Structure 1
């Protein structure tokens, strides 16, 4: 059994079409068919059900595919680790996040220290992050929403309070704090459903005992700040909203407790590069220092 056979088998299994798989692999279709036939001979059972030109992964093939994918993933991780130990690469980091607002400054500071690191960012929802981690497509996820999985590990890097932002001239504008239910009948500005912090903000609102009337839903914190300032409604904002460049009337929320906990999450069963470990530790230290200086987040 050869490594090349396993790579070919995984491609054919994913496409379930010999000709298309051959085109993707850039080899002749007869050569690919012979390779798969030799692999089946080595395994001892057919891995595909064949009906003319159509092929389908059978029960044996599905079981074998799980082991093949695990083996190839382990080999790739071993290659990365060996290269790092040999000093053949400076390290790479693939990060998934739902928001870039809080990461722009620390990312710039990190890359000033480590310009040799190959850094890639994918903007994703929490559900997409879980799938990316499971597949090994990203090293780290920066998220405020929980990512569930028995093999996932996480570390808290930033906690920030969520404030109630009210327009100039609002009846609460002269106060320093308020209970969230005091604005139950006010028009609200929020993020688009399921986007960024909205699932967490919705949980705060449910805990306060009301469903707000949203007059506008946007996709970035700076837009929320501008619309509140314009008098369109009230909103929940965190550290990013406080520093959006737009002066806001911010009230501390007395009830319920509204706080965001940003975490870095990684798959504990996969190899985490030294560069990724370095960034994980750097980000925690960066935010800790920023909070000590009175700069909550970005």
Structure 2
């Protein structure tokens, strides 16, 4: 059996020393302390159960067996690096392409800013963007079709033992009404006053759909839904056309404030969505995801400072 003291890291330090010939130069090359280099070489000798060096003053002079070990260590480390690269390539990790999933509504502001920052960090990176519902994006992440997703999360949505969750911002929900609606702008809206009105809705699986259902449970009636759609922009277009009312996250307000009416909900129906970046825990050291997470933290900080 190979002794536990013999590790890939120690072999890397050993090879660097064999090339640089002094502990100080090896330490500078590796970005570690001279003490760490000395300890690694001494520990490697213990694991090998034979001397590798003889002392000449403060220098360690390699013995013939050290040169033989270096030959095999070079081959082993080269093969292992190749194996790691091929394994990660099959998994789609660390390559020049990253697959990101997002809610449609985040493409107005959040996604463009994240992607612009990501390209500044890794200019060579190509991004494949997939848009879909909360449930669809989670499914694709679970089946490794996406590297990371931008969704609305609750504690029950994501297994935090399996996934990393980086909250970006919280978003309030509003009532969206046709421009010609007679509702007053001065007061928050009680949904019970709209019992006889028509509504448009997203299909099941979208984050806003679940909030829609919860709000009307509190109101105590089932809304008259005249049509359901698969993207939030189509839903807003239907409100613009006067087809009906709907509930809308605040992130869309600036884009549509001139074409529809955005009204606050009364306190009984007020709710928030937490928008977060979600990715697999076992991929958190992937360089592409590290860059995306760093940009996500910057975005979250800027949003927080604007409040």
In the TM superposition, residue 185 of structure 1 has moved relative to its aligned partner by 2.7
Structure 2 unmatched ranges of 5 or more? 1-80
Q: Is the 1:94–1:139 contact (alpha carbons within 8 Å) kept by the matching residues of 2?
A: yes
Summarize the alignment of residues 105-144 of structure 1 with structure 2, pairs less than 5 Å apart: 105-113=112-120, 114-144=122-152
Q: Work out which of the residue numbers 86, 101, 104 in structure 2 matches 1:96.
A: 101
Count of residues in Structure 1 that have an aligned counterpart in Structure 2 = 215
Which of 198, 223, 232 is the aligned partner of 1:212? 223
- Measured after TM superposition, the shift of residue 191 of structure 1 is 1.7
Show the counterpart of 1:79: 85
Q: Distance in 1 between the 2:245 and 2:167 partners?
A: 29
Q: 1:270 to 1:112 in 2, by over 3 A?
A: closer
CA distance in 2, matches of 1:222, 1:134: 26
* Structure 1 residues 249 and 124: CA distance shift in structure 2, 3 A: closer
- Which of 141, 144, 158 matches 1:148? 158
Q: Are the counterparts in 1 of residues 136 and 205 from structure 2 also a CA contact under 8 Å?
A: no
Q: CA deviation at 1:177?
A: 1.5
SS of 2:107 mapped into structure 1: coil
User: Aligned match of 1:258 in 254, 259, 271?
Assistant: 271
Q: After TM superposition, list the pairs within 5 Å mapping 1:1-298 onto structure 2.
A: 78-79=84-85, 92-99=97-104, 100-102=106-108, 103-113=110-120, 114-146=122-154, 147-149=157-159, 150-195=161-206, 197-245=208-256, 247=258, 248-253=260-265, 254-290=267-303, 292-293=305-306
In 2, distance between residues paired with 1:243 and 1:260? 17
Quote how far apart the aligned CAs of 1:80 are: 7.7
- Aligned mates of 1:218, 1:111 — CA distance in 2: 31
Shift of the alpha carbon at 1:279? 1.3
TM-score, structure 1 length as denominator? Answer: 0.60
- For 2:149 and 2:285, locate their aligned partners in 1 and report how far apart those are by CA, in whole Å: 12
* TM-score normalised by structure 2 residue count: 0.59
d(CA) in 2 for partners of 1:139 and 1:154?
A: 13
Distance 1:104 1:82 in 2: 26
For residues 232 and 135 of structure 1, do their structure 2 counterparts lie closer, same or farther at Cα, with a shift above 3 Å needed? closer
> Structure 1's 135 and 190: CA in aligned 2 closer, same or farther, altered over 3 A?
closer
